[in-house]
Structure 1
Amino acid sequence: MASSGLAYPDRFYAAAAYAGFGAGGATSSAAISRFQNDVALLLYGLYQQATVGPCNVPKPRAWNPVEQSKWTSWHGLGSMPSAEAMRLFVKILEEEDPGWYKVPEFNPEPVVDIQMHKPKEEPQVVPASTNGTSIPKPKTISENESSVGTQDKDVILEGLDNVSSREEWTPLSASGHRPKPRYEHGATVLQDKMYIFGGNHNGRYLSDLQVLDLKSLTWSKIDAKLQAESSDSVKTAQIAPCAGHSLISWDDKFFSIAGHTKEPSEGITVKEFDPHTSTWSIVRTYGKPPVSRGGQTVTLVGTTLVLFGGEDAKRCLLNDLHILDLETMTWDDVDAIGTPPSPRSDHAAACHADRYLLIFGGGSHATCFNDLHVLDLQTMEWSKPKQQGLTPSPRAGHAGATVGENWYIVGGGNNKSGVSETLVLNMSTLTWSVVSTVEGCVPLASEGMTLVHSNYNGNDYLISFGGYNGRYSNEVYTLSLKSDSQSTAKEETVSDNTSRTLEPEVEISQDGKIREIAMDSADSDLKTRNDEASEQLLAALKAEKEELEATLNREQLQTIQLREEIAQAETRNAELTKELQAARGQLAAEQSRCFKLEVDVAELRQKLQSMDALEKEVELLRRQRAASEQAALDAKRRQSSGGMWGWLVGTPPDKSES
């Protein structure tokens, strides 16, 4: 990154001249050959935005694809301020070629050193943990310390042996050409060398293999060859770029397992690298390989590799478990009992006592986790034990390394910010504690970084590389763990000096018997103290045993009571089941009766409807009869009232009346 003390215009024009941009934003052939086409186009757009301003020129015609691409890169920046364009131009150039600014001062004899920086005094802010309490902060490293190449050298050290023994992270300055900044890469240590393979940079997968010699602290790139699967021939070709894979050392070689690629295969691919021949080869495996994925964990347990979780090419999260036998190269799909961790990726895993697999943290598409799960590899049973000490904050993309029974966790993020503290878990007691805390946006608070353990000259070191926390990193930090061994050595030295001091005082006497008596007296006193200590220890153990027996008896009584309660509950449950069955029988009978009643009601309704129709017909007949009777009555009345007038008109008399 460009230092804030430098004037951007000066550094910008120096960077533009180095990148090969001439007047008017012309791109020279040197820039095209020095960078990838997409990077060169992006640099062109930023250069034009910084020097000319927003793109107002018309779009070139379709027959000129190069000018069209340059116009698209410039036009896509919109109204970005020129100062911001300058800053991004310098930033991308430094990420692509970190040593560009030192090219005029090239030194054929690189100096191997480590720069120890003294940060400015700033207010110490203790970050709050997730439960509202302050996280202990034994050691801190500020953001200023991350700029290894921009500060004055206070102390020049050589080799890892001279790294501070205090438990604080120290930036390393190695000679040679540093690898391109990246994250989600793989890292492993083999024969005092740290190997870095692949990773992700600006959305592009990488395939380069870099090595840091821990003796000379020198970076170098390995031009690896690829051995053909079908023959013994070796050809010079790049292996497929990948990210999110795992590097595992085995004997004098190491494996690259799984990872995201542009053209993923159906199953996981296992690649092997031989440092002696600088050759990659595709390992032939047997059995059914797991589905291809990235963001998984691969843990070495004896002569097997245990793979858990990850995310497949369709972005589906996984929590399956697979084991690869390194002696037969056979995959085995494992169905463990118990409740496994939820599907996740970018978690961390470790092995304790060649029996227990520990899974910590990780993330899904929506959340991050801080849970700890343990798999007993003998019984193949998952459990979620109770953790001691502080409660770690949720995180994903963190890195872990084991040293003895201690598991160190560094970095990671929680969808909002990077995690600043370095944690250690004692795998025997499952107790968490804080080793150190970093301040600011330094690479140690990144996602996708790697953490490896190196035992160099009998001393233990943790070495971190890369990561992403808003910018891609290619910096190396180390944490020395030799304080415990040094303190032990000091105690042994003090003990030796004490014994040497006591012996001359006894030898002052010329009588050898006095010395023997003094030694016998010292031995007897020591024996007495040892006996007293043993008696006290036995008494304490006896008391603890009695307490444990009493606790066990109470637990047994509670177990008996619980069993009785369970038996009573089962009996009551059986009775209730019988009652329920009887009630169900009665309910079925009532339902049948209701059905019959409903049929009867329907028939009665039909009969009632028929009766209504009959009543209407009867009423109609009654009316017709009444009308007929009335008509007959009226006719009779008319006949009876005819008299003489009827006779006169010749109306014949009614014979029925005669």
Structure 2
Amino acid sequence: MARASTGPAYPERFYAAASYVGFAGSPDSSSSNAVVSKFNNEAALLLYALYQQATVGSCNIPKPSAWNPVEQSKWKSWSGLGNMAPAEAMRLFVKILEEEDPGWYSRADVVSDAVVDVQMNQNPKSEVVVENGHAFPETKAVSAENGVSMESQDKDVVSEGLGSISVYDQWVAPPVSGLQPKPRYEHGAAVVGEKMYVYGGNHNGRYLSDLQVLDLRAWTWSRVEVKTGAEMPEVQASIPSIPCAGHTLITWENKLLSVAGHTKDRSETIQVRVFDPQTSTWSILKTYGKSPVSRGGHTVNLVSSSLVIFGGQNANRTLLNDLHILDLETMTWDDFDAVGVPPSPRSDHAAAVHAERYLLIFGGGSHAACFNDLHVLDLQAMEWSRPIQQGDIPTPRAGHAGVTVGENWFIVGGGDNKSGASETLVLNMSTLVWSVVTSVKGRVSLASEGVSLVVGSYNGEDILVAFGGYNGRYNNEVHVLRPSHKSTLQAKMIGTPEPDNVSAVHNATNATRDLESEADAGPDGKIREIVVDNIDGEKIRSKEGGEGLRTLKKEKEELESELSRESLQNQQLKQELAEAENRNADLVKELQSVRGQLAAEQSRCFKLEVDVAELRQKLQTMEQLEKELELLRRQKAASEQAALNAKQKQGSGGVWGWLAGSPPQTENDA
């Protein structure tokens, strides 16, 4: 289980926990006995040691006498912590308490006057604020874990509910409780009511199938026990949870839609699974028409009553840039060939919808590079365009997450295979001006790939909730940002939206003064008479509102408009050139890879040719040996035949000799 409480909520939650287990000041023998009565001896000793480490510091008292084994055990446990930091001791104290007694916080008196007194003794610089009948110490500066530093002001900090602190335009870690989910990335997250649901994901290369829920009011984690066997009118029979990653979770009619994703049992086409929180059942949505090829790392956006799906990567790691729409009223698939130049094939990008008409695609990656380009699809005209971005244009990234609040699109996380993106960005979708909301430092989950981001409501205000991610390690941390829209207001001041144009690009103009302002204005606001000498020495009078002035002003406006168009076209060409160079770099890398594979194949082929030549030589040698062997066999047969003939001849001579009176030869005679 990962840490139960992080960031600025450490002191409040720690002292509440200490009060709950019996450490209302210094843990004496009676309080230690109270702890032992609630937990086992090992947990009680560890809680005692962590409390001492957090409130007193490292153990510097002498070892107790051997006749007192209880005090010896307590001393040994405390001294074993060494030079552990007090903040870490606080965190571990709360973590162990929640592992031993998950529901302690709901049964505890959150903050008492005694707790506040202890906190004031530990931090004399803090002030006490009383809200809703509870007292809270208010700190002017807080520091979160992993190097994420935040400076808060009175007007930007509120302490309410569970003692959580919400800071405008800064990420904070709420004091979550309950059994936290397994660390993961490439999961799906969506909000239904006041609960954030997290489904599936990737952990150590294994796909997860659990469904977790975080209560955004109590900040408590719990696991949903999925039921099977029930049926719903609009879907097929319920199914068990399916392990998957790279899918998208969408809220639709108080239900959750899980669209596509990578699974162990591959499917050729996209499946849409629906979860009903009322019945706790999963089902497969029955659709009609030609379903798109299965994929992961895609984006899904709900536009009116349709799902718009773009890009991703199929099971064969082929990158896609196709566009498909599922009408949720008819449950019918449609694919569209939009005009214009679409984004290059990619996965792990982000997508948003503006004004229920424009689909924005940002970033993503191929097998060799990451992107920071922005594309817009007009869903009415079905036409792609690539507008000019302004402001703090983001660096290339993939695996980031985005959500919209009004006309503002917030982007969190992602990376470029070298480092994580530390900035939290916002794009004003009317002006297409980027701004940096905040940045984090260190190796934190907010600068991870595969992080999820949702919009929730807390005390009537919108909040961004980020969860999970991978940045060299798998994360299960929760962070919350309360946007104040300060950066978006600044973005609006930079550029003014053009009517009926989502691009609304701010036109750069020459710093020339208006010709009309050159004329002196009289007290009545009218332009006075201007006298100009011509070549012939005649005087030409230009009356107020003269045709010459209007003509010059019109020509100036036309020139500025033409210059603006040329400037925009030039920037467009530069972006297209940069994109072409990126594609060329990808092709060069792929070509080098193919060349390397070809060289390896050529080397293997040459080796095979050498082996074949050696085998042929051996075969020729074997044929020669067989011929020689056959010749030797023939010679041997001829020799044996000659010897037999000679023997027969000798036998015949012996008979005639016997008849002639000569006795036959014996073996000894021979």
Q: C-alpha separation between the residues in 1 aligned to 2:359 and 2:148?
A: 34
Q: Highest CA radius of gyration, 1 or 2?
A: 1
Paired amino acid for 1:397:
G
The answer to whether the Cα contact below 8 Å between 2:287 and 2:333 also exists between their aligned partners in 1 is: yes
d(CA) in 2 for partners of 1:448, 1:382: 27
Aligned match of 1:286: 288
Give the drift of 1:332: 0.4
User: Which residue identity is paired with 2:285?
Assistant: V
Q: Check 1:267–1:439 CA distance in 2 against 1; reply closer, same or farther (3 A cut).
A: same
TM-superposed CA distance for 1:557, in Å, is: 12
Instruction: Tell me the CA shift for residue 403 of structure 1.
Output: 0.4
Residue number in structure 2 paired with 1:452? 454
Give the alignment of 1:568-583 within 5 angstroms. none
Query: 1:321: Cα distance to partner?
Result: 0.3
In the alignment, does 2:101 pair up with 1:106?
yes
* Superposition deviation, residue 264 in structure 1: 1.3
- Taking a change above 3 Å as real, the CA distance of residues 171 and 364 of structure 1, as seen in their structure-2 partners, is same
Q: Percent identity?
A: 61
SS at match of 1:314: coil
Say if 1:159 and 1:214, in contact at 8 Å, map to a contact too. no
Equivalent residue, structure 1, for 2:466: 464
Q: How does 1:337-416 map to 2 (within 5 A)?
A: 337-416=339-418
Aligned to 1:272: 274
The aligned amino acid for 2:104 is E
Rate the CA distance shift 1:478–1:558 in 2: closer, same or farther, 3 A: closer
Partner of 1:635: none
Distance 1:364 1:544, change over 3 A: farther
Secondary structure of the residue aligned to 1:444 is: helix
Question: Hey, what's the Cα distance between the residues in 2 that align with 1:211 and 1:478?
Answer: 16
- Superposition pairs for residues 557-572 of structure 1, below 5 Å? none
Distance 1:356 1:410 in 2: 21
Return the alpha-carbon distance in structure 2 between the equivalents of residues 463 and 325 of structure 1.
29
Query: What do the CA deviations read for 1:409-434 (whole angstroms, capped 9, x no partner)?
Result: 00001010111111111100100110
User: Structure 1: which amino acid aligns with 2:326?
Assistant: L
Which residue number corresponds to residue 200 of structure 1?
A: 202
Question: What displacement does 1:102 show?
Answer: 4.8
Q: Which amino acid aligns with 2:349?
A: H
Letter of the structure 2 residue corresponding to residue 203 of structure 1: G
Query: In the alignment, which residue of structure 2 is the partner of 1:443?
Result: 445
Distance 2:397 2:453 in 1: 16
AA partner of residue 106 (structure 1): D
Residue 106 of structure 1 and its aligned partner are, at CA, apart by 2.6
SS in 2 for 1:144: helix
TM-score (norm 1): 0.53
CA contact (8 A) 2:102 2:179 kept: no
Deviations 1:480-533 (A, max 9, x none): 025769x9xxxxxxxxxxxxxxxxxxxxxxxxxxxxxxxxxxxxxxxxxxxx9x
Q: 1:319 to 1:235 in 2, by over 3 A?
A: closer
Letter in 2 for 1:248: I
**What pairs up with 1:93-242 in 2 under 5 angstroms?**
101-102=96-97, 105-106=100-101, 108-111=103-106, 143-144=145-146, 158-159=160-161, 163-226=165-228, 238-242=240-244
Counterpart CA distance in 2 for 1:357 and 1:439 is 32
Query: Runs of 5+ in structure 1 lacking a partner?
Result: 4-97, 118-138, 148-154, 488-531, 533-538, 560-658
In 2, Cα distance between equivalents of 1:475 and 1:484 = 26
Matches within 5 A, 1:548-627: 550-552=556-558
* Alignment correspondent of 1:316: 318
1:251: how far off?
1.7
d(CA) in 2 for partners of 1:99, 1:236: 39
Contact 1:141 1:437 in 2 (8 A): no
Amino acid at match of 2:483: L
SS at match of 1:361: strand
Say if 1:425 and 1:431, in contact at 8 Å, map to a contact too.
Answer: yes
- Greater share of helix: 1
Alpha-carbon offset, residue 175 of structure 1: 1.2
3-state SS of paired residue (1:110)? helix
Counterpart secondary structure, 2:435 = strand
1:240 Cα shift? 1.4
Q: Give, in whole Å, the separation in 1 of the partners of 2:239 and 2:259.
A: 19
Residues 299/231 of structure 1: CA separation in 2 closer, same or farther (3 Å cut): closer
Q: Does 1:473 align with 2:475?
A: yes
Alpha-carbon shift at residue 172 of structure 1 (Å): 1.7
The CA distance in 2 between the partners of 1:2 and 1:252, in whole Å, is 30
Cα-to-partner distance string for 1:6-27 (whole Å, 9 max, x where unaligned): xxxxxxxxxxxxxxxxxxxxxx
1:244 alignment counterpart: 246
Counterpart AA for 2:272 = V
What do residues 345-396 of structure 1 show as CA deviations (whole Å, max 9, x unaligned)? 0000000111110000000111100100110111111111000112210100
The alignment partner of 2:466 has SS state of strand
Q: How many residues align?
A: 383
| C-alpha contact 2:426 2:437 (8 A) present in aligned 1 | yes
**Root mean square deviation of aligned Cα:** 4.0
TM-score (norm 2): 0.52
C-alpha contact (below 8 Å) 1:410/1:421 kept by paired residues: yes
CA distance 1:313–1:228, change in 2 (3 Å): farther
Residues 140 and 392 of structure 1, relative CA distance in 2, 3 Å threshold = farther
